[in-house]
Amino acid sequence: MTGAESQPPAAQEEQPTHDAQPSIGANLVQAIVRGNSVVVTILAIALALLLGALLIAFSDDAVLSKFGYFFAAPMDALNAFGSSVSNAYGALFRGAIVAPSTVSAYAAGHATASQVFYPICLTLADAAPLILAGLSVSIAFRAGLFNIGAQGQVITGGLLAGYLGFAIHLPIVMHLVVAIAGGFVGGAAWGWIAGTLKATTGAHEVITTIMLNYVAASLLNYLLATSAYQRPGQQDLISKIVRPNARLPLLAGTRLPLDFGVIVAILAAVACAWLLSRSTFGFELKAVGGNADAARTAGMSVGGTYALVMLVAGGLAGLAGGAQVLSTSTSYSITGGLNSSLGPNAITVALLGRARPLGTVLAGLLFGALQAGSITMQAVTQTPVDVVTVVQALIVLFIAAPPLVRGIFRLRGSRTGGQDGALAKGWNG
């Protein structure tokens, strides 16, 4: 007797069964990779933006004062609401994609092409580290691992890439390649620690990666104060400047912030896509993610796969760190800012991208746009950039719970939970 009968959906043997007892890991990977229609994703984004709008409007003193006498002049209140939201989101759009006013100014000859393309270039530049770190989380997800440690891997990757960038002399091209490779290695080492600990001692990667994040953050603070890193003559924590040979080249001239980092991100995504679908290692990691016991029984080394996956994942996050440090966006230096919120954002990117390379690229672009636009939004409307963080978190919450979204929009197929929402994995698993 197996559990086949006690699991009602598998009641009769001759009939196809719907996975009478899916392993928990399989459930996780399934739910992240499949499970969602494009519709739900779009609705989730819309819903999150709507809630963001409410947050913006109802923390706006101008709107609140109008709502103070809502019943006396409801239209006033609604107008104030509308203008508050449209101002903020309008600025967000102008800062992320394109500003219609610059387009018309360009047509009239008052603005340069650079000014027209500046916002979209900023979006692409912001998207690059998000995509890289998102790929890191995605690839770990596919092997059934939570890489909460992208943050730490970004830091160690950035530290090594930056060091190689300013401490050594190498010819053009080669120096850049070495520095970028340093980013990969720095992150990979940090990721590998967590993978190896899981493989050898069973330490849960969620805990170890979280702890490694904080260790990396302290390491960053420490190193930035040492003579090897600290920029001479500076009191605050800032590193020496990366030599020109190791800088990521600008792609669209000096006036636009777009550099080679975005190419690195795209190449990494392509490599991940190949790795996952066309390599034996990809087969192995998906098998381990789908059913680690079966993978082990079929002769795969589950521990070895964990270590290697975390190494690759760490490397990708390290590339994100390298891409930041070697980029114009940080003025080619390492600061405490390397310990930003890239780690948590990478998780949201990977989830929105359903742990697939193409999806991760698209999600990275979306969050890059939100990030780029939020700066303009804050400058123009004094709406804090953090509303974007809230929106990102809400998007992921909604896409993780399709029944909720379907319920709100009264779509069919709504049910409580089920396979598409079920993501399960405990400390013991």
Partner 1 sequence: MTARTVDAPLVASRTRGSLSRTQGLGLAGVVLGLLTTLLFGLREPSHRTAHLALRATGDTGGVHVPTLVVPVHLTCLILGVLMVLAGLAQATNARRSRLDTLVTAFVLLAFVFAFLAWADSGKSLALNLVDAGNGAMVRAVPLILGALAGIACERSGVINIAIEGQLLVGAFAGAMVASALTKPAATTTSTALWLGVLAAALAGGLLALLLAVFAIRYLVNQVILGVVLNVFALGLTNFLYDRVMSPHADSLNQGVGFPNLKVPGLSEIPILGPILFDGNVFLYLTYGLLIVVHVGLFRTRWGLRVRAVGEHPTAAETVGIKVLATRYRSVILGGLFAGIGGATFTIGAGVEFGKNITSGRGYIALAAVIFGCWKPRGAFFAALIFGAADVLASALGVIGTRVPSDFLAMAPYLVTLFAVAGLIGRVRAPGADGEPYQKS
Partner 2 sequence: MAGAPRPATHREPLRETTLKLELRGITKRFGPLVANDHIDLTVSPGEIHGLLGENGAGKSTLMNVLYGLTSPDAGEIVVDGTPRTFHSPSDAIGAGIGMVHQHFMLIPVFTVAENVLLGRESTRAGGFLDRRAARARVRTLSERYGMQVDPDALVENLPVGVQQRVEIIKALLRDADVLILDEPTAVLTPQEIDELIEVMRALREAGKSVVFITHKLKEVRVVADTITVIRRGKVVGRAEPDATEAELASMMVGRSVLLRVEKVPAAPGEVVLDVDRLSVDDASGHRVVDDVSFDIRAGEILAVAGVQGNGQTELTQAILGLCKPVSGAIRLSGRPIGGRSPKQVLRAGVGYVPEDRQHDGLVSSFSVADNLVLDQYDSTPFASGIAFRPSVVREHATRLVEEFDVRTGSVDAPAGTLSGGNQQKVVLARELSRDLKLMVVSQPTRGVDVGSTEAIHRRIVTARDSGVPVLMVSSELDEVMALADRIAVIYRGKIVGILGADASRDELGLMMAGVGEEKARADSEAHPSVMTLVELQHEHAGEEPTP
> What is the pattern of x (binds partner 2, CB under 8 A) and - over residues 23-52?
x--x--xx----------------------
Q: What's the one-letter identity of residue 357?
A: P
Give the one residue of 4, 111, 251, 266 binding partner 2; rule: CB under 8 A: 4
Q: What is the DSSP string of 301-362?
A: -HHHHHHHHHHHHHHHHHHHHHHHHTSGGGTT--BGGGSSSHHHHHHHHHHHTTT-HHHHHH
283 binds partner 2 (CB under 8 A): yes
Give the one residue of 127, 312, 370, 404 binding partner 1; rule: CB under 8 A: 404
Q: Where are the alpha helices (DSSP H) in 143-173?
A: 150-167
236 binds partner 2 (CB under 8 A): no
Q: Residue 212 or residue 362: which is nearer to partner 1 going by CB?
A: 212
- Dist CA 158 CA 178 (whole Å): 13
Give the one residue of 98, 211, 241, 300 binding partner 1; rule: CB under 8 A: 211
- Nearest alpha-carbon partner for 63 in 383, 396, 427, 409: 383
97 binds partner 2 (CB under 8 A): no
Give the one residue of 36, 136, 138, 208 binding partner 1; rule: CB under 8 A: 208
Do 134 and 368 touch, CB atoms closer than 8 A? no
- Nearest alpha-carbon partner for 179 in 242, 262, 226, 266: 242
Residue 239's SS3 state is: strand
16 binds partner 2 (CB under 8 A): yes
- Dist CA 23 CA 282 (whole Å): 20
- Dist CA 289 CA 142 (whole Å): 6
Q: Tell me how crowded residue 7 is: count the other CB atoms within 10 A of its CB.
A: 14
> What is the pattern of x (binds partner 1, CB under 8 A) and - over residues 247-286?
----------------------------------------
Q: What's the one-letter identity of residue 159?
A: L
Min dist CB 114 to partner 1, Å, is 31
Using alpha carbons only, give the angle 274, 277, 279 rounded to the nearest 5 degrees: 70
111 binds partner 2 (CB under 8 A): no
Give the one residue of 111, 403, 411, 414 binding partner 1; rule: CB under 8 A: 403
Residues contributing to the site for partner 1 (CB under 8 A): 7-8, 24, 28, 31, 55, 59-61, 146, 148, 197, 201-204, 206-208, 210-212, 214-215, 218-219, 221-222, 225, 341, 344-345, 347-348, 351, 383-384, 386-390, 392-394, 396-397, 400-401, 403-404, 416-418, 421-429
Residues contributing to the site for partner 2 (CB under 8 A): 1-6, 8-23, 26, 29-30, 277-284, 286-287, 290-291, 293-301
